[in-house]
């Protein structure tokens, strides 16, 4: 590779653009130029007033020193052609275009809040703002790809902001229509198309490009917005381009440890050297960034075969579902067996608990009945014994008068009788006994 390279939109070319005459205060066509906004890759951008409608617009003018270069003239007109066929809410629209004294210009919507590059001048962006920017630029990029247009120069200075904090894609000056001019320009030549700090490895090598090259550039922007610095640094644009092809980027959290691990894994994937290992679309990347910034798990985020980064959530749900499946919601073959396995022990447990209660109840009832029978026997025995006593008493009472009568029957000895009579009386009594 030769170090003799002149990267488009490099510092040298921006210096050339900045050295052109200042057109502030002049009038071009129906537009009054107010002041310089900035210097683009191949044009100077002014803030101007459209006289007919009394509105402020952005006026992009090709510097006079580039008017003799057919390459720059073709790129300027290509931007008009491409942007005029792209209508998306996050692509800066073209209001008008024309030439004034042979100097071409493009009239575009004025974006007063500047660019993402201006925001990065103050340091890393807030994660919420970074996510919002990616979510707005991604669909615009996918829309351009659906129309067969590759941007090829996606970078922070080409993302403009409005007063509401919304992001817009601009500067299709070196965009390519897919199917046209597919040969590419190698980094070994004098003309490198794109900005080395953001170009994909295949773009730096002059290989055929597709939408994944722009997605890589969006990934470099994502890295820079989160870390506040670009992943690759070198003394020359050529050196940066070489690193894009040969070196691995530093991990995001090695620069900013406060960032989520999941976001680091998203960045690792989008900056893969091989295009087929990156996200298949810019929207898929944006969804992965949103999931990571919301605290979602990063599992499966780095797998290249996933069509969308939302699939890991479904896989986790499918994996987690059998852990505690409601039978009505997940009627899988395993569910009935699991339900029976849970329910079968319950009758046994209930039966074992009730068995001691029945035994104790039976024993208690048996004891009560036994006590009752014993008491009944005691009562009967007492009654029997009591009855015998009454009979014996009655018999003794009945005999007692007879005895009394027997003893009262004999006459008393006559003490006044003679001794013989008295003896007979006594003897007669003895005989009676």
Nearest partner of 237 among 208, 273, 196, judged by Cα: 196
Task: Judge whether 6-109 and 116-323 match in fold.
Answer: no
- Burial of 337 (C-beta count, 10 Å sphere; 0-12/13-18/19+): exposed
Q: How far is CA 157 from CA 86, 87, 153, 167, in A?
A: 20, 21, 10, 11
Q: How far is CA 9 from CA 41, 43, 187, in A?
A: 4, 10, 15
Strands 6-7 and 191-192: parallel
Residue 276 bears catalytic tag: no
Q: Please state the pTM of the whole predicted model.
A: 0.63
- Print pLDDT tens along the chain (433 aa): 333 333 333 343 344 444 566 889 999 989 999 999 887 667 889 999 999 999 999 999 988 777 788 887 887 787 788 888 899 999 999 899 888 888 889 999 999 899 999 999 999 999 999 999 999 999 999 999 999 999 999 999 999 999 999 999 998 876 666 555 444 333 333 345 789 999 999 999 999 999 999 999 999 999 999 999 999 999 999 999 999 999 999 999 999 999 999 999 999 999 999 999 999 999 999 999 999 999 865 433 433 333 333 333 232 333 333 333 334 343 344 433 333 333 434 444 444 444 445 555 666 677 778 777 777 777 777 776 665 544 344 444 444 444 344 334 444 444 444 455 545 554 555 444 4
Residue 355: Cβ within 10 Å count: 10
As given in the structure block, the two tokens for residue 114 are 């500047």
Nearest partner of 88 among 144, 9, 15, judged by Cα: 144
Q: Give me the helix-helix angle, 211-227 and 282-293, nearest 10°.
A: 30
The single residue of 96, 126, 142, 153 carrying the catalytic annotation is: 153
Candidate CATH numbers 1.10.510.10, 3.90.1150.10, 3.40.1740.10, 3.20.20.210; the one for domain 116-323: 1.10.510.10
Each domain of the chain, given as residue ranges in start order, spans 6-109, 116-323, 373-402
Overall fold of domain 6-109: Phosphorylase Kinase; domain 1 (3.30.200)
């Amino acid at each position: 590779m030769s170090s003799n390279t002149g990267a488009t939109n490099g510092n040298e070319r921006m210096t050339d653009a900045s050295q052109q005459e200042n057109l502030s205060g002049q009038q071009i066509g129906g537009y009054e130029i107010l002041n310089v906004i900035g210097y683009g890759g191949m044009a100077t951008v002014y803030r101007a007033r459209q006289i007919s409608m009394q509105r402020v617009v952005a006026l992009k003018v090709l510097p006079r020193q580039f008017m003799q270069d057919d390459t720059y003239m073709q790129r300027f007109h290509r931007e008009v052609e491409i942007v005029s066929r792209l209508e998306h809410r996050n692509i800066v629209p073209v209001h008008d275009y024309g030439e004034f004294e042979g100097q071409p210009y493009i009239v575009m919507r004025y974006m007063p809040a500047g660019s993402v590059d201006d925001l990065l001048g103050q340091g890393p962006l807030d994660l919420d703002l970074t996510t919002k920017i990616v979510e707005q630029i991604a669909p615009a990029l996918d829309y351009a790809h659906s129309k067969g247009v590759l941007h090829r120069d996606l970078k922070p200075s080409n993302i403009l902001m409005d007063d509401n904090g919304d992001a817009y894609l601009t500067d299709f000056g070196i965009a390519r229509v897919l199917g046209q001019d597919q040969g590419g320009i190698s980094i070994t030549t004098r003309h490198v198309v794109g900005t080395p700090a953001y170009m994909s490895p295949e773009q730096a090598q002059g290989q055929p490009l597709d939408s994944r090259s722009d997605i890589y550039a969006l990934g470099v922007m994502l890295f820079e917005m989160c870390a506040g610095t670009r992943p690759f640094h070198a003394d020359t644009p050529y050196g940066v381009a070489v690193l894009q092809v040969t070196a691995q980027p530093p991990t995001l959290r090695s620069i900013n440890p406060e960032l989520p691990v999941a976001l680091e894994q998203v960045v690792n994937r989008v900056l893969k050297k091989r295009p087929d290992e990156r996200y298949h679309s810019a929207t898929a990347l944006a969804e992965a960034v949103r999931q990571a910034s919301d605290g979602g798990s990063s599992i499966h985020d780095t797998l290249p075969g996933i069509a969308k980064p939302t699939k890991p959530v479904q896989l986790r749900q499918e994996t987690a579902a059998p852990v505690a499946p409601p039978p009505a919601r997940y009627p899988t073959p395993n569910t009935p067996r699991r339900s029976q396995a849970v329910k079968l022990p319950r009758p046994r447990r209930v039966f074992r608990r009730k068995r001691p209660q029945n035994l104790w109840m039976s024993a208690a009832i048996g004891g009560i009945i036994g006590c009752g029978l014993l008491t009944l026997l005691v009562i009967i025995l007492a009654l029997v014994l009591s009855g015998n006593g009454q009979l014996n008493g009655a018999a003794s009472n009945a005999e007692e008068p007879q005895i009394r009568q027997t003893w009262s029957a004999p006459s008393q000895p006559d003490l006044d009788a003679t001794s013989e009579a008295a003896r007979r009386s006594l003897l007669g009594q003895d005989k009676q006994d």
